[in-house]
Structure 1
Amino acid sequence: MTTVFAKRLFDGEQWLANQAVTFSDNRITSVAEAELSNAMTKDVVDILAPGFIDVHVNGGGTLFNHTPTLLALEKIVQIHAQFGTVAMMPTLISDDYSIMSQAHDAVCEALAQNMGGILGLHYEGPYLNPVRKGVHNEFQLRQPNEGILATLLDVSKFGKLMVTLAPEQVREGFIEWLVSQKAIVCIGHSAATYEQAIAAVDSGARGFTHLFNAMTPLTSREPGVVGAALETNKATWCGLIADGHHVHPVSMRIAIAAKGCEHMMLVTDAIQSVGSNETEMAFLGKKVMRSEGKVTTVDGTLAGSDLDMATAVRNTIFLTGRTPAEALQMASLRPAEFLSIDDQFGHIKTDYRASMVALSEDYRVQKTWIDGRVAWEPFITCN
């Protein structure tokens, strides 16, 4: 049994002072007010908050497409734990079915082993619109082959499954079929009209991948995919890359005000640059360069991001003016609600997972626990 004393605790809903959080194995057993002098613990932290959940992470130290293996998943979890991430949806960018199959097998094995930090798998593509392909290789974009695809969806039997697609690129009924296979469908890399995007939502799509990026914009006469994403009468969530490069801070402020914090979730879209000192690296057959907090191809196309979740939280506070509580919720509770795992993550309460992050007063990570195990602290290095 372990006890952590928090000078300030954000339990997912409210701030509390002088709280002792006790956990055993992977579950929180008690949360109670306590005096520091009486706390039977060596762990005293400034701020304790629910650990961050990243539903869109392509890599960390390695790109999952390049090394779709169990060892790569372990490394990516380890890298992002130093930035407060306790659970993730490793994301596979559009690729051959053989690579999709390897990624599928690796994630299924991780889930079978109860690997801490891995929730499931996110296929970003390959059913995307070439017009809005971003950094995805156009020759990998294609129509669905349901016979092959069916063998790559049974990850949903063991964990969570996300599929990002362009609704205008798939046949009628395909989204409903994916939903019937327990996939969480997100709209992204799409040139859909507003009407097509809303039809996809009515068919079961519930997310929008990296809001504003690689999708039809909101204009005066055509609301586009962005307009559909910001609708508040639909139960959908928007992923937001809060690095200051993918979305201007003013656009972030407007989007959060329109949609509400309740349906916004911070994501990184991180590639292998996170956790690495490299300034140039291979990326799906191309060369990308890291500079000034972003990664781009030679022609300037953004290639994922160099963002981590702790930085995303700080940026949301300091660039958009949202409260720390709202920013922390967008990094934990909101993605947990999106994935329907908010009965396990997103709160620090009795019986919830002991997956937490200790933060300094300026919201920098001091320590991370995943399922009750110390996943990162300053003297633990990431190889």
Structure 2
Amino acid sequence: MTTSTAVSAARIFDGTRWHDNSALLISGGRVDGIVGITDIPAGSPRLDYDDQLIAPGFIDLQVNGGGGVRFGDETSAEAIHAITAAHARFGTTKLPPTLITDTPEVTARALEGGRQARSRRIPGFLGLHLEGPHLSLERKGAHNPSFIRPMTEEDLHAICGYRRASGFLLTTVAPENVTTEQVSALVEAGVVVSIGHSNATAATVSTYLDAGASMVTHLFNAMSPLGNREPGIVGAALDDGRVYAGLIADGIHVDPVTMKVALRAKFSPGQIFLVTDAMQTIGTSLREFELNGRVIHRNAGSLKLADGTLAGGDIDMLASIRFVHTVVGVPLESALSLASSIPAKAAGVDGHLGSLKPSYVADFVVLSGELDHVDTWIDGNRVVHA
């Protein structure tokens, strides 16, 4: 029988409740349980974090890059590892590298990179997120309009084939360029379908939810707004309990007051969760970079094209949690859940990720009382130490 390692801390948040002066027991990359300090099994190796806190590792479902690498510019398993490693420094323990709208050739290379990352068991790799190219030109944001196009049968076959053979896949689509029949086929294959970069009406969104879509990409951004006569995608997302919605919490993409209103208004069981939409600037001192031949400027926490269009996020997940906790006023346990158990539910991986329950993957983050990063553990291994 494998002996559990006991990782103790002043407080442990298991995804539902706090445990004071307790220890997280782990073995074989999995959680064995949480016990009081006095109940640690005799002979267990121990690691004490004293007055710090332990929480489930963060799950970020929209990450374009990090560590100087953008997924798409580079698509190899090594590039994926560079991205996951950059975000692990800020507590993210699982993420799907996100490919924004690009050519069929780049998309094919990205799918192959995902297959390689899975076969090599890259730490932190969850799967892939294809954000486009089947989006709306009217709500394209920073996506290159020359690459936006309707979904073909070849596209559908490639996406479904990846999901069946290689694991988790999330795709952002717009009703303008994807049919309900295609959405149903994607969902039947196990693909998580998110609506985004679209000018769809609320009624259209409802039809696509009926077809199996279950998520909305970066709520409020690049989508039809909540209006007095047309609720748009925003209204549909808040009102329909079938849908989860990602939210970029940097105070730039969405105003803090708007965040408060949305968090209060969201009808369950679907919930709002945090995403970073992070670009390759995370963990670097980069001041600018190119995106499909266009220069993106980094300034005061924002990434913009020359015309002022936002082009992804310049924030990590831990900073996002601090923002919603200290600025928006979300209780700490709820803020932590917005980055762990809720995205796990949205992605359909909550049976083994997002919480510190027995038999769950031992992904967790250690934080100071001031919410500074201390350590990150992925699959039961300490991968980052402050």
1:108 match: 115
2:126 match: 119
TM-score computed with the length of structure 1 as normaliser: 0.95
Q: Secondary structure at the match of 1:295?
A: strand
The partner residue of 1:52 within 55, 58, 63 is 58
1:155 CA displacement: 2.5
Q: Secondary structure at the match of 2:371?
A: coil
1:280 match: 288
Matched, 1:332 2:340: yes
Residues in 1 aligned to 2:212 and 2:179: alpha-carbon distance in whole angstroms: 14
1:41 match: 46
Matched, 1:315 2:323: yes
Residues in 2 aligned to 1:315 and 1:152: alpha-carbon distance in whole angstroms: 35
Q: Secondary structure at the match of 1:281?
A: strand
Residues in 2 aligned to 1:22 and 1:170: alpha-carbon distance in whole angstroms: 46
1:247 CA displacement: 0.3
1:147 match: 154
Residues in 2 aligned to 1:291 and 1:35: alpha-carbon distance in whole angstroms: 50
1:168 CA displacement: 2.5
1:2 match: 5
Residues in 2 aligned to 1:282 and 1:20: alpha-carbon distance in whole angstroms: 46
1:169 CA displacement: 2.3
Cα-to-partner distance string for 1:339-358 (whole Å, 9 max, x where unaligned): 12112112112211110000
1:109 CA displacement: 1.6
TM-score computed with the length of structure 2 as normaliser: 0.94
Residues in 2 aligned to 1:258 and 1:349: alpha-carbon distance in whole angstroms: 29
Residues in 1 aligned to 2:192 and 2:24: alpha-carbon distance in whole angstroms: 33
Residues in 2 aligned to 1:105 and 1:43: alpha-carbon distance in whole angstroms: 41
Gaps of 5+ in 1: 379-383
Deviates more, 1:42-51 or 1:355-364: 42-51
1:181 CA displacement: 2.1
1:365 CA displacement: 1.3
1:12 CA displacement: 0.4
Matched, 1:297 2:302: no
Matched, 1:239 2:239: no
Residues in 2 aligned to 1:295 and 1:77: alpha-carbon distance in whole angstroms: 20
The code of the aligned residue for 2:329 comes to G
CA 40–182 in structure 1, closer or farther in 2 if over 3 Å, else same: closer
1:381 match: none
Residues in 2 aligned to 1:264 and 1:167: alpha-carbon distance in whole angstroms: 21
Q: Secondary structure at the match of 2:315?
A: coil
1:260 CA displacement: 5.6
Q: Secondary structure at the match of 2:206?
A: helix
CA contact (8 A) 2:192 2:213 kept: yes
Residues in 1 aligned to 2:169 and 2:221: alpha-carbon distance in whole angstroms: 22
CA contact (8 A) 2:129 2:171 kept: yes
CA contact (8 A) 2:239 2:267 kept: no
1:154 CA displacement: 2.2
1:118 CA displacement: 1.1
CA 148–254 in structure 1, closer or farther in 2 if over 3 Å, else same: closer
The partner residue of 1:269 within 268, 277, 281 is 277
Residues in 2 aligned to 1:49 and 1:145: alpha-carbon distance in whole angstroms: 42
1:355 match: 363
CA 282–43 in structure 1, closer or farther in 2 if over 3 Å, else same: farther
1:16 match: 19
Percent of aligned positions with the same letter in both sequences? 39
Q: Secondary structure at the match of 1:6?
A: strand
Residues in 2 aligned to 1:320 and 1:246: alpha-carbon distance in whole angstroms: 14
CA contact (8 A) 1:8 1:19 kept: yes
1:250 match: 257
The code of the aligned residue for 1:55 comes to L
Gaps of 5+ in 2: none
2:187 match: 179
Residues in 1 aligned to 2:373 and 2:110: alpha-carbon distance in whole angstroms: 29
Residues in 2 aligned to 1:152 and 1:350: alpha-carbon distance in whole angstroms: 33
CA contact (8 A) 1:218 1:224 kept: yes
Q: Secondary structure at the match of 2:194?
A: strand
Residues in 2 aligned to 1:224 and 1:137: alpha-carbon distance in whole angstroms: 24
CA contact (8 A) 2:180 2:211 kept: no
Matched, 1:138 2:145: yes
CA contact (8 A) 2:156 2:186 kept: no
Cα-to-partner distance string for 1:162-208 (whole Å, 9 max, x where unaligned): 11011132234121122122211100000111111111111111000
The code of the aligned residue for 2:289 comes to M
Residues in 2 aligned to 1:353 and 1:99: alpha-carbon distance in whole angstroms: 32
Residues in 2 aligned to 1:173 and 1:342: alpha-carbon distance in whole angstroms: 27
CA 371–40 in structure 1, closer or farther in 2 if over 3 Å, else same: closer
Q: Secondary structure at the match of 1:139?
A: helix
Residues in 1 aligned to 2:292 and 2:87: alpha-carbon distance in whole angstroms: 21
1:2 CA displacement: 2.8
Residues in 2 aligned to 1:251 and 1:69: alpha-carbon distance in whole angstroms: 38
1:66 CA displacement: 0.4
The partner residue of 2:230 within 222, 225, 235 is 222
The code of the aligned residue for 1:13 comes to T
Deviates more, 1:269-278 or 1:38-47: 38-47
Q: Secondary structure at the match of 2:93?
A: strand
CA 345–171 in structure 1, closer or farther in 2 if over 3 Å, else same: closer
Matched, 1:30 2:33: yes
